[in-house]
Amino acid sequence: METLLNPSKTPFLLVPKTHFFKPSLLHSSFNPRPHTPFTRRPLSVAIICKLKTSQGRKNDGKNNNISKKILLSDSAPELSNEEGKAKAESGGGAWRVIRKLPRKVLSVLSNLPLAIGEMFTIAALMALGTAIDQGEAPEYYFQKYPEDNPVLGFFTWRWVLTLGFDHMFSSPIFLGTLVLLGTSLMACTYTTQIPLVKVARRWSFLQSADSIRKQEFSDTLTRASVKDLGVILMGAGYEVFLKGPSLYAFKGLAGRFAPIGVHLAMLLIMGGATLSATGSFRGSVTVPQGLNFVMGDVLGPTGFLSTPTDAFNTEVHVNKFYMDYYDSGEVSQFHTDLSLFDMNGKELMRKTLSVNDPLRYGGITIYQTDWSFSALQILKDDEGPFNLAMAPLTVNGDKKLFGTFLPVADTDSPDVKGISMLARDLQSIVLYDKQGKFVGVRRPNSKLPIEIDGTKIVIVDAIGSSGLDLKTDPGVPTVYAGFGALMLTTCISFLSHSQIWALQDGTTVFVGGKTNRAKAEFPDEMNYLLDQVPEIVESPISKQPGSIGG
Amino acid sequence: MIFSTLEHILTHISFSVVSIVITIHFLNLFLLVDEVVGLYDSSEKGMIVTFFCITGLLVTRWVYSGHFPLSDLYESLIFLSWGFSLIHMVSYFKLKIKKRKNNLSAITAPSAIFTQGFATSGLLTKMHQSAILAPALQSQWLMMHVSMMVLGYAALLCGSLLSVALLVITFRKAIKIIGKNNNLLNQSFSFGEIQYMNERSNVLLNTYFLSSKNYYRYQLTQQLDRWSYRIISLGFIFLTIGILSGAVWANEAWGSYWNWDPKETWAFITWTVFAIYLHTRTNKNFEGVNSALVASMGFLIIWICYFGVNLLGIGLHSYGSFTLTSN
């Protein structure tokens, strides 16, 4: 264990060291390295996203400091050379200022705390948007956030209406913050993550045992060979490179690229959403069975990029609207049989819609979202059939209730009495007499008559109307592509990029390694692999790989 | 009939077993019976039994009702406790290979029992019967979206509880030790403590490592920190997939993939907060306490998203709503 420590660096560490190690460990898994961490701190910061440190100021928008990460030893002279070169490139004074401006803007935008602040702001605004009721008339806010009794002591309707909190998710504040986050994403991707790709793909060998021992995890194998180590590592899925006595292996490089993919996917989603918001058409219509409508009449634009297509001239005819029921009587599914006709009357398409199963034609999608009761067809005293329009009633607790009224007495008198018919769905109609007393229930299919106050009523049919939502959205393919990319890249970025360096010094092999994500599991994995490296036992006749050793 | 009794039995078995396991863990804590290996083993076996019970419960419900058991609040709570026991199993087997003790069970087991207990308690008896699905829920997407969301919640809750544990351990002694800041350089400490001392932002951790017994606390906090990071990353992936599949489902069912529905918005807020957590981890200065603070906020936000929005009962996600009056 003494070989692990470098006594020249920090003498006062020697004493507590042995005190901490448990005797059960075969070889040390926790290796406190005496080294000055200060040189490493700002470097690893600069990799992921730039921080405004004093080091960072020098390198606005430059990629050179990242190279320090892999080549741990001496790239400082490199740095100043590149900087000097860049400065010499730009021309006169004013031109230099203009040239520097985008770089400065980039460096400001790709600042990590700024991005974190933006994300916090967005989260807070969204939370506020759910707390404040959206889309109500101004009077509602006058009432709810009055000036003489402000919520939380200062929040009045003035705040709500001037800041646009009543339509939070399309207000300038919210959209502005989103745009800012988008530009930060782009800046960060350009300035730090793309250079990271170039750097991480470079493999470098560490030439000195000291630099290997400085790694997060390091170990020493006495009497081993780097080649054996290489073979073991290859078996464990690492890509191994051997150059003379030194070795470099890595695994999980995709885990470094994936965050770039995440950012790009987010930009794609944002772009697609912008396209949706500015270029789509939507509309909804409730069509009674048997009637029709033209798509273009129903669809309204949502933004300035919306342009109608030829498919807007299609006529939609509702052939039939019907519902499925469970045995308990609840609605299980509603269906609409639709036919699409062009302007000449030729049938283009026929499909039965249901919820979760929309109709797609010419870029326009029709969704089944709702239903209503249009009319009740009855026979009165064997005359008719009469269509009585059903109106929706709002009663506490009932989800949907429709009713109609058949007057039996003189319709001109102010106090008209008649038969009331109520229905919750298209299955059964409940009938009440002139006094409002319950008489009976009839199903439209049964054709059974019912006698109320001397009038014979037969329910012939219950005509429903279908609630349809129409939509055309050019941004959907982009957004779906962004979704798929985001899901994939988020999964991949779970992988941890592990790097291992080894150096053969005589019969000793120094091994060092680090990983960016799976820090808890890495030492154990390394110990497991190193356990498998065969120990070279010098016999008088020949070298033979021996048993498992440390 | 058989199914409902079977369900009943399984619920009660899992609930009782988990309570026994937790009792054993509390005994470990207070009476230090940890060395009695048999007891520890039995608690681990108890958790395995619980896992199989809850799995059996869910499968029974699935077969009996004909739809995937995730259509209302009761079923999603059972699924959540299943998620916790699943996380426990995975961490148990991973750590068993390395022959280490499973510290995670302190978090996963109580979480499983609390969610299970709440679900089976009297508050939600109305929902215990398998209900029929509303038309909007009859879709293949139900399985993917809701299961991913609930698994994501389970993992994120575990991870944020680990961060809370980290904060509790960190701040317990910090107040006492602040005064001894000046003596640090003269004391003896290990490498890890030097590393932490150089964290300029983490002032509180600077004051902390003074003696050898703090080394073990440091190791524990570091283990908690790393585990929390991994579990939250996993939960984040599930949450992302859940939110995006929900958006695609909404587009198929209602014509628009994002409606700023309260539940959707709060899920997005949760996603944003954990994205902030992951970004704070990229910077070594913010690692440790600061990221743990973010994760603790995330804990509260998940509960608002999962429960709070349902209590309001508004919007497109009203399937999960319930009133707290017990019947």
Which of B96, B245, B276 should be substituted to probe chain A, the one whose Cβ sees the most A Cβ atoms within 10 Å? B276
Contact A49 B279 (CB under 8 A): yes
| pLDDT single digits (tens) A81-131 | 333 344 444 445 667 776 777 777 777 767 788 888 899 999 998 888 888
pLDDT confidence of residue A547 = 44
Distance CA B198, CA B287 (A): 12
**Closest-CA residue to A5 (of B213, B184, B191):** B191
Closest residue in B to A496 (Cα) is: B230
> CB-based contact (8 Å) between B254 and chain A?
yes
Q: Which residue has the higher pLDDT, B213 or B61?
A: B61
Rounded average pLDDT over A149-159: 73
Q: Which residue has the higher pLDDT, B139 or A24?
A: B139
| pLDDT single digits (tens) A406-415 | 887 767 777 7
Q: How many residues does chain B have?
A: 327
Rounded average pLDDT over B20-29: 72
pLDDT confidence of residue B315 = 52
Which of A483, A491, A493, A525 should be substituted to probe chain B, the one whose Cβ sees the most B Cβ atoms within 10 Å? A483
pLDDT confidence of residue A541 = 56
| pLDDT single digits (tens) B134-146 | 666 667 777 788 8
**Closest-CA residue to B308 (of A131, A122, A134):** A131
Share of residues in chain B with pLDDT > 70 (%) = 71
Chain A stretch 456-495, residues whose beta carbon is closer than 8 A to a beta carbon of chain B: 469-471, 473, 476, 479-480, 483, 486-487, 490-491, 493-494
- Residue A114, Cα to own-chain centre: how many angstroms? 21
pLDDT confidence of residue B325 = 38
Angstroms from B81 CA to nearest CA on chain A: 24
Beta strand extents in A174-295 (DSSP E only): 217-221, 239-243, 246-251, 281-288, 292-294
Which residues, listed in sequence order, are joined to residue A512 by a DSSP beta bridge? Answer: A218, A501
First to last CA, chain A: 12
> CB-based contact (8 Å) between A356 and chain B?
yes
| pLDDT single digits (tens) B290-319 | 888 888 889 999 988 888 887 765 555 555
| pLDDT single digits (tens) B101-134 | 666 777 777 777 777 777 776 665 655 666 666 6
Rounded average pLDDT over A334-354: 86
Rounded average pLDDT over A157-162: 77
Distance CA A275, CA A303 (A): 9
On the CB side of A119, CA atoms within 13 Å amount to 22
Distance CA A355, CA A368 (A): 5
Least confident residue range of A180-194, A420-434, B155-169, B198-212: B198-212
pLDDT confidence of residue B156 = 93
pLDDT at B287 over 90: no
Least confident residue range of A60-64, A305-309, A402-406, B305-309: A60-64
pLDDT confidence of residue A316 = 87
Measure the CA dihedral B196/B199/B204/B208, to 10°: 20
Q: Which residue has the higher pLDDT, A213 or B121?
A: A213
pLDDT confidence of residue B39 = 65
> CB-based contact (8 Å) between B269 and chain A?
yes
Contact B138 A473 (CB under 8 A): no
Residue A102 neighbours by CB under 8 Å, 6+ apart: none
pLDDT confidence of residue A497 = 87
Q: Which residues of B touch A478 (CB under 8 A)?
A: none
Least confident residue range of A72-81, A229-238, B166-175: A72-81
* pLDDT classification of B179: cutoffs 50, 70, 90: very low
Which of B223, B248, B254, B293 should be substituted to probe chain A, the one whose Cβ sees the most A Cβ atoms within 10 Å? B254
- CA dihedral sign of residues A146, A150, A154, A159: negative
pLDDT confidence of residue A201 = 72
Contact B136 A356 (CB under 8 A): yes
pLDDT confidence of residue A361 = 85
Rounded average pLDDT over A330-340: 85
Q: Which amino acid, B134? A: A
Size of interface A-B (CB pairs under 8 A): 146
* pLDDT classification of B237: cutoffs 50, 70, 90: very high
Q: Which residues of A touch B141 (CB under 8 A)?
A: 356
Q: Which residues of B touch A273 (CB under 8 A)?
A: 258
pLDDT at B40 over 70: no
Angstroms from B123 CA to nearest CA on chain A: 21
Residue A29 contacts residue A523 (beta carbons within 8 Å): yes
Closest residue in A to B197 (Cα) is: A37
Share of residues in chain A with pLDDT > 70 (%) = 79
Question: What is chain B's mean pLDDT, rounded?
Answer: 74
Contact B275 A369 (CB under 8 A): no
Contact B136 A494 (CB under 8 A): no
pLDDT confidence of residue B240 = 95
Residue B91 contacts residue B104 (beta carbons within 8 Å): yes
From residue A273, give the alpha-carbon distance in Å to each of A67, A305, B270: 37, 13, 20
Q: Which residues of A touch B276 (CB under 8 A)?
A: 116, 119-120, 123
Q: Which residue has the tokens 């709070």?
A: B308
Closest residue in B to A489 (Cα) is: B237
Least confident residue range of A23-27, A490-494, B231-235: A23-27
> CB-based contact (8 Å) between A450 and chain B?
no
Which of B98, B144, B186, B249 should be substituted to probe chain A, the one whose Cβ sees the most A Cβ atoms within 10 Å? B98
* pLDDT classification of B244: cutoffs 50, 70, 90: very high
Q: Which residues of B touch A471 (CB under 8 A)?
A: 255-256
Share of residues in chain B with pLDDT > 90 (%) = 13
Rounded average pLDDT over B22-43: 66
Share of residues in chain A with pLDDT > 90 (%) = 4
